[in-house]
Amino acid sequence: MTTSLLLLTLLTGPNAVYEPGAVDMAAAIEAAAHGDHRSESNRDRNRYRHPVGTLMFFGLEPDMRVIEIWPGGGWYTEVLAPVLRENGQFVAAGWDPAVEGQADYRYRLHDELHEKFAANPEIYGKVEYQPFSPPASASLGEPDSADMVVTFRNNHGWIGNDLADTMYAEFFRVLKPGGILGV
């Protein structure tokens, strides 16, 4: 049994009942993770990053408003955006290009992510972009407006730059009561 199937069994239980009209989240995540909109190298990294197991463990549902913090090149964006496209809302909280003095890679990644969105509107046409470069640009939106906030491979930078408290306070502020923080 694969890890993702084992995790799905643990999360749903051995006697889970399929409900007509219900979205099979594991299948939706798997389809997005292997979609043609992703590069071969990004699809190859599925085996290391385990998007199905990770997002199922976090409790991703198709009708959630999910904010991804600093998506970089968009590896998880490529999975989350199509899964949430029809019934949910995906928010890419990326670096704010209006904030001066950031590392050059932040401006480059911002531009590349927007080029990705523009080149594939059938996948990314409903993605919301939230500029987010604390401390200068530090809001993720209205309080209690997100069902889930996810971040991947960012904690080390926040700790090293004394931003961890600021970041986590903002995540808490924007998450709905009972919301999920996936790290």
In tens, the pLDDT along 98-126 reads 999 999 999 999 999 999 999 999 999 99
Average pLDDT taken over every residue of the chain:
88
CA distances from 114 to 110, 126, 134, 137, 150 (A): 6, 12, 20, 18, 19
Q: Among 9-23, 43-57, 110-124, 143-157, where is mean pLDDT lowest?
A: 9-23
pLDDT band at 9 (very low <50, low <70, confident <90, very high): very low
Between vectors from CA 129 to CA 113 and to CA 168, what angle results, nearest 5°?
Answer: 105
Please give the Cα distance from 108 to 16 (Å, whole number). 45
Please give the Cα distance from 92 to 117 (Å, whole number). 11
pLDDT value at 3 more than 70: no
> Tokens representing 131?
């500029």
Termini Cα distance of the chain: 25
pLDDT value at 11 more than 60: no
Q: What is the pTM of this model?
A: 0.86
